[in-house]
Structure 1
Amino acid sequence: MGWAKPTGGDQTIQVHNTDSVTMEVQLVDPASHGIYAEIESLAPGTIRPFHLVLGNGTYAFTCLPDGADVETGPSVTIKNGPATGAKAIAPVSETDLAPAVKTYRAHVSGGITTLAADVTTLRTALASGDRHRSEQAWLVAQMDYNRLGAAYDTFGDAADAIDGTPDGLPAGVRDKDWAGLRRIEFGLWHGESLPALGSLAAKLSGDVAGLRHDFGTERTDPNDLPLRSHEILENTLQFELSGAEDEGAHAELAVMSANLDGTRMVLDAIQPEIQPRFPAWPAVLDELSTLQKLVDAQHKAGTWKPVQSLSVYDREKLDGTLGQLLEDLAPIAAIGEVRRTQ
């Protein structure tokens, strides 16, 4: 294991797996174990490139074969490169992310409690026979759920019960097994009887209560947090701004606002570990604030403007700002991924 003719500067290094098993390959600082570059799932006999600027310093390759111990090759010192090159990023461990997970789970637990209370308010509104009041109460509960952010994978089957869509169900929007917040949205904006929707809200209340009970014993994968810092808004672009998940309320921007809150909650939790590894952190927070202001500008007199009613200028501004933010958030998932060390 090693490399031929190491040279400083802007380099493309062809990495060849000559072993018989798939492996991950990293170019590391042998002293700090910081990672300059990596290739995941390099299959036997295949060649893939690293591209980076090699500054003056010491480097080594680390191989992490499937089903075998980690092995680090000989160190190589480069003296003919620039004074500064690619930066080595310290790997993140489960121990490193444990405080972030604890912080995040505390926020989610509080959020579930808020959701449970607001679902009760929704049931009361439906029982009153006031459709407008019920619509307002539904939106509050829907936004509560979206603020839970990175919790989706943690919730398992409860996620579909509470916020599932009719996609994939045999009878679509008429399927008897469709329930939850989106089902109630459909009924409210398609003239269904409020007592019938009250029954759905009662089931929703039970599902939220079950989630509240079970969450304390369910494990949160530390990798979910850095991954979701990008995926929450990626899903917003795919499903909310496209209108794909709208069931009649045209509340896409309200849900987007809640998703921004969920993203901020995740970023706040991981900030102590990720910010020192990610120089663009301040820029990302600025972009997040800019996007929040653009969304908030479409909320006037208690009403959210539907996405399809945005002017061309406002829609392009919104799409462009979100696109830039997604591009700048993307590295966090890789930086915060828990790395194998043995």
Structure 2
Amino acid sequence: MPDSLPAPAPTMDGVVAAYRNYVSGQLDTLTGQALSLKASIGNNSLEVARRQWLDAQMTWQRVGAAYGSFGDLGSAINGLPSGLPKGSADPGFTGLHRLEYGLFHGQGPAELAAVASKLYADVVELHGKLPTMELAGSDMPLRCHEILEDSLRDNLSGNNDQGSGMALALTSADLDGTRVVLALMRTLVDTLSPGYTAKVTATLDRLGNALARTQDQGTWPAWRTLPLAARQPVTGALGAALESLAYVPALFSTDD
């Protein structure tokens, strides 16, 4: 859970402005992490690099609601090999998931140094372009629900896994991003449905607790190594959270 959640904004324009500031801070963090990851790969410190990759990937997940605004840079930083002619060997497969694939499939500096350098350059470029990128206010209620919806579809399904097995860690980071968006929208949501953010927060807390209980002395296990009995509390809590979050975009819908 984030150390501190942002203050709620009184208007949707305020939500977007505050969220842009939040994203800028996350990209600040990611820039440093990408630089450290680049150095570790260059030094052939691959065990360190694997830990640094997870930290960087979780930071990206926490960006959350802005992902639809990043265009080609977003794909370069967090794209997947699906649909590429040569799959995971395709030159167009770059960024965090390409590093995940390499780091967890026995590759080293010869294969990954250029990938890490490009990741760092792409993050720096994205950060520089962020002030001019459009973040639509109408997207914020949708993203409040979609961040965790995508986590269920992509993380816990294994669709995004390139070898790390870190679906639980990435779902936890997605939960952090969801909490930030909900916190920024709290005043607007509670004006339309008094007290509703407290109800949603309770389901998010349940999910956070279920995720935390899967850890072993602070270490995230691989999702697929967990027995069914250990998975069920997570999937049940995530389903309940998604059910409560689905009402948020409905509150702002202009459909008849």
In structure 2, C-alpha distance between the alignment counterparts of 1:251 and 1:282, rounded to whole Å: 29
Provide the C-alpha distance between the structure 1 equivalents of 2:95 and 2:184, rounded to a whole number of angstroms.
Answer: 28
User: 1:335 is matched with which residue?
Assistant: 251
Uncovered stretches (5+) of structure 2, i.e. residues with no partner: 1-9
Matched, 1:248 2:163: yes
More helix by share: 2
- Measure how far apart 1:302 and its partner are: 4.2
Q: Contact between 2:182 and 2:197, CA under 8 Å: does it hold in 1?
A: no
Mark the runs of 5 or more structure 1 residues left unpaired by the alignment: 1-94
- SS across alignment from 1:322: helix
Query: What does residue 214 of structure 2 align with?
Result: 298
* Counterpart amino acid of residue 162 in structure 2: E
Q: Which amino acid aligns with 1:222?
A: G
Deviation at 1:102, TM superposition (A): 1.1
What is residue 225 of structure 1 aligned with on the other side?
140
206, 212, 232: which one aligns with 2:121: 206
CA distance in 1, matches of 2:223, 2:38: 28
Distance in 1, matches of 2:167 and 2:226, equals: 12
Rounded to whole Å, the distance in 1 between the matches of 2:121 and 2:239 is: 38
1:193 to 90, 108, 125: 108
Q: Which residue is 1:260 aligned to?
A: 175
TM-score of the superposition, structure 1-length normalised?
0.69
Say yes or no: does 1:309 pair with 2:225.
Answer: yes
Distance in 1 (CA, whole Å) between partners of 2:159 and 2:191 is: 37
Asked whether the 8 Å contact 1:149–1:232 carries over to 2, the reply is yes
> Displacement, 1:192?
1.2
Q: Which has the higher contact order (CA 8 A, sep 6+)?
A: 2
Distance 1:226 1:164 in 2: 24
Whole-angstrom CA distance in 2 between matches of 1:111 and 1:249: 22
RMSD: 1.4
Structure 1 or 2, whichever has the larger Rg, is 1
Distance 2:142 2:77 in 1: 22
Q: After superposition, where does 1:280-299 map in structure 2 within 5 Å?
A: 280-299=196-215
Identity of matched residues, %:
37
**Mapping of residues 75-114 of structure 1, within 5 Å:** 96-114=11-29
Higher strand residue share: 1
TM-score, normalised by the number of residues in structure 2: 0.92
1:164-198 CA deviation, whole Å, 9 max, x = no partner? 00111111111111100000100011111224211
* Preserved CA contact (<8 Å) 2:77 2:95: yes
CA contact (8 A) 1:126 1:195 kept: no
Partner residue of 1:167 out of 82, 94, 106: 82
Q: Secondary structure at the match of 2:185?
A: helix
What are the superposed Cα offsets for residues 187-223 of structure 1, whole Å, 9 maximum, x if unpaired? Answer: 0111112242111010011110110111101111001
Aligned partner of 2:98 in structure 1 is 183
Is the contact made by 1:278 and 1:332 (CA closer than 8 Å) also made in structure 2? no
Counterparts of 2:53 and 2:30, CA distance in 1: 11
Change in Cα spacing, 1:168 to 1:249, as seen in structure 2 (3 Å) is: same
Shift of 1:289: 0.9
SS in 2 for 1:300: coil
Identify the residue that residue 59 of structure 2 maps to in structure 1. 144
User: Would you say the 8 A contact 2:172–2:208 is kept in 1?
Assistant: yes
C-alpha contact 2:64 2:178 (8 A) present in aligned 1 = yes
